[in-house]
Amino acid sequence: MRKAFIGWYLLLAAALSGCGYNTLQSNDEQIKASWSEVVNQYQRRADLIPNLVNTVKGYAAHEEKVLTEVTQARAQAGAIQATPALLNDPAAFAKFQQAQGALSGALSRLLAVSENYPQLKADAGFRDLQAQLEGTENRITVARNRYIKAVQDYNVTVRSFPSNLTARLFGFQIKPNFTAENEKAISAPPAVNFDPAPKPAAER
């Protein structure tokens, strides 16, 4: 009886492997790992923002609109729980992506404002924060690209025969991905320019 059970178990394992079950499991785990890295890098960026906002405020306190935009965008992005469950909810995933895109835009506008304040640009703390932010944006791009690739591999397996039958049997579903139309805008790091600002015409 025991030998029969073992034989049946091995046969079932071989059948599942041949139908893509192991591949689905492996791809799903890769997605989770890639997603964790995406979230970590976005959190790293969020952690830099309070110091960046305070530094800018010290030199450009009257730029209230752009400072408020960054603070609010950070709060809205942070309010979304980026758990693995979000990866199975296209609407929630789109909301997460939209919030992070809005934060990227707000940060770009904040850095653009700094161009009007030579003393701010010369501040060592501000320059260090800019460099850290640029590095973080680059890490976000890398992490997002790895996630995109992991989801593509997984989705191909879910759609392909005969693994699509296994996916349907065990509840593996297509996962949402970062959309192509705003991929360039969101993944592009904010411009960091250390060149001195041009002098006003009156000073030339």
pLDDT at 179: 78
Residue identified by tokens 């394992």 is 13
- Domain range list for the chain: 24-193
182, 190, 30: which is closest to 97 by C-alpha? 182
- Encode the chain (204 residues) as per-residue pLDDT tens digits: 554 444 444 344 444 445 788 999 999 999 999 999 999 999 999 999 999 999 999 999 889 999 999 999 999 999 999 988 899 999 999 999 999 999 999 999 999 998 999 999 999 999 999 999 999 999 999 999 999 999 999 999 999 988 888 899 889 999 999 975 444 444 444 444 444 444 444 444
Residue identified by tokens 């835009």 is 105
pLDDT at 52: 95
pLDDT at 12: 43
pLDDT at 162: 86
pLDDT at 2: 54
Which residue type, as a one-letter code, is found at position 12? L
How far apart (Å, rounded) are the C-alpha atoms in residues 130 and 56? 11
Class of domain 24-193: mainly alpha
Structural Rg of the chain based on CA atoms: 23
pLDDT at 180: 54
How far apart (Å, rounded) are the C-alpha atoms in residues 47 and 165? 44
